[in-house]
Structure 1
Amino acid sequence: MEFTTFGISQNYLSYVDSGISGGGSTGSVYGFQSWHAALMYKVTGTVSYCTFAVSDADALVTSEESRISNNQNPEVAGDSYLHVGEQIGNIMMVYDWCRAQTTSSQRSR
Structure 2
Amino acid sequence: AIKWLMERHAPLAIKATGDIDQYLWMAQMLRNCTASRYAVNKERMVRLSEYSRDCLDELRAETGIAYEARNLGTTQLFRTQAQLDGAAKDIAVLKESGVPF
TM tier, smaller: 0.3 to 0.5
From the CA coordinates, give the structure whose radius of gyration is larger: 2
Q: Which has the higher contact order (CA 8 A, sep 6+)?
A: 2
